[in-house]
Amino acid sequence: MSAAPQPIIQAVGRGDVEAVRAWLEAGGDASALSERGTALICFAACTSGARMVELLLTAARPAKAGYADDEGWTALHAAAGRLIKDRSGPAAVALLCDHGADVNARMFTSLEYDEHGEPYYDEPNPPTPLLCAADYGLSCEIVRVLLSRGADVTATSASGDSAEDYARATLDRPVVASIEAAVAEYDYDSVAQAIQYWDDLDEPWRLEGEVERIIELLADVRSAGSWKHYTGAWRVELLLLQRLCSGGRAYPGDGSRREYRWRPASIEDLEAKIKAVMAKSKTALAAQPAPAPVRDAFAAAPPSDMPSMKIARRSPSSSRGTRS
């Protein structure tokens, strides 16, 4: 692969689409690398966003969506773990996946030994794009796109940490309501600077509610078994809810799927859930006072203007064979 000129690397980094387009039309190679071996598509994925990613992927000499450096780092890792100033990160992730990037690509991990001879895994970064997205905890939509493109929700790091584990580890970070709020809170000059220097903070901030949404989504998909089953379970659940509502046996509330997020992990789990609901219903019924029998209530105080409602009953045995 050819070396990328430094001005073009800078243009990709600042999102100058027109300058990069002119270079490509003049014969530039979109798969070119920096002096350190980083592909232009990686710079675009973590700094410029979807427009630059699309430009490089569709050039006459296109970038390789699945290019990995000598550590296994790909553009998808870069896009999954970053915020983009124009908020196009999810679109960039989708473009890379749709152009052949491996959604479950793993960074290389080596087994090292400490000074006491104890083994440990040298794993400075989460190994898969999904684990990267969960570790940064900045965009639930990026997590959603990765899962919809086939990311393995059960994948773990070499030390056994899952995407949910990475996401939960970020819950102790300071919370800001938005990136704009972070600019004011941390004295950044701009949103772009807030995003650029987020990694350099001793205690990075997190966006309010975003990590919680990521954890909930990951748990739901893991419970369903796969993204396909998760989305299918929601469609079945919605149809069932609509049928119950039309029969007057349920009401949709505010229409939020958040109210109906439980899904059985297995048939045994479903049976246990049904038994628990039935037991709760029996307990509630047992706690209610027994209603007075209707016959006794009328016998105690029969209305004077009500005609007799007695019905001549025949025993089952006396009614047999009476019809000719």
- pLDDT at residue 315 is higher than 50: no
**Residue entry with tokens 């899952």:** 162
Assigned CATH for 6-112+122-252: 1.25.40.20
Quick: pLDDT tens for 76-116. Answer: 998 998 777 667 889 999 999 999 999 999 987 665 666 77
Quickly state the pLDDT bin for 284 (edges 50, 70, 90): low
Reply yes or no on whether the pLDDT at 263 is more than 80: no
pLDDT digits (tens, 9 = 90+) for 15-65: 899 999 999 999 999 999 988 888 999 989 988 889 999 999 999 999 999
- pLDDT score recorded for residue 243: 65
Q: Is the pTM of this model over 0.85?
A: no
**CA distance to 72, 109, 206, per residue, from 125 (Å):** 11, 9, 18
Residue 294, pLDDT above cutoff 60: no
Q: 218-227, long-range: CB within 8 Å, 24+ apart, which pairs?
A: 218/134, 218/143, 218/153, 218/163, 218/164, 218/167, 219/164, 220/261, 220/263, 221/147, 221/153, 222/153, 222/154, 222/164, 223/263, 223/264, 223/265, 224/263, 225/265, 226/153, 227/147, 227/148, 227/150, 227/153
Instruction: Flag the least confident range among 135-149, 208-222, 303-317.
Output: 303-317
pLDDT for position 291: 53
- What is the predicted pLDDT for the residue at 18? 95
Separation of alpha carbons 52 and 107, rounded Å: 24
DSSP for residue 47:
I
Mean pLDDT of all residues belonging to the chain: 77
Q: For residue 131, give Cα distances in angstroms to 43, 67, 74, 96.
A: 20, 19, 13, 17
53-84: pLDDT as tens digits: 999 999 999 999 999 888 888 999 989 987 77
Least confident span in 87-91, 108-112, 165-169, 289-293: 289-293
- The pLDDT value recorded for residue 206 is 87
In Å, how far are 5, 171, 209, 260, 272 from 34, measured between CA atoms?
8, 35, 37, 49, 57
Which regions of the chain does DSSP assign to beta strands (E)?
A: 110-113, 119-122, 175-176, 206-207
Q: From CA 131, how far away is CA 80, in angstroms rounded?
A: 9
Q: What is the mean pLDDT of residues 173-200?
A: 80
Of the two residues 271 and 316, the one the predictor is more confident about is 271
- Determine the distance from the C-alpha atom of residue 241 to the mean position of all C-alpha atoms in its chain, rounded to a whole number: 23
Distance in Å from the first CA to the final CA of the chain:
100
Phi, psi of 133 (to 5 degrees): -60, -40
Please give the Cα distance from 55 to 30 (Å, whole number).
9
pLDDT at 288 over 70: no
Which of 106-115, 127-136, 189-198 has the highest average model confidence (pLDDT)?
127-136
| CB neighbour list of residue 116: distance below 8 Å, 6 or more residues apart | none
- Rounded distance between C-alpha atoms, residue 42 and residue 55, angstroms: 13
pLDDT greater at residue 57 or residue 205? 57
Q: Are 2 and 32 in contact (CB under 8 A)?
A: yes
Q: What is the pLDDT of residue 306?
A: 41
Can you give the pLDDT at residue 69?
A: 86
Give tens-digit pLDDT for 133-161. 999 888 999 999 999 999 999 999 888 89
Mean pLDDT computed over 234-239: 62
Which sequence spans correspond to the domains of the chain? 6-112+122-252
pLDDT of 190 reads 79
pLDDT above 60 for 264: no
CA gap 53, 48 in Å, rounded: 8
Cβ(182)–Cβ(176) below 8 Å: yes
Which run of H or of E encompasses 271?
A: helix 267-287
Q: pLDDT (tens digit, 9 = 90+) per residue, 248-262?
A: 655 555 444 444 444
Segment 168-173 mean pLDDT: 90
Distance (Å, whole) CA 144 – CA 227: 9
For residue 321, the model assigns a pLDDT of 41
List, in order, residues 6 or more apart from 313 with CB less than 8 Å away: none
- Inform me whether the pLDDT recorded for 265 exceeds 60: no
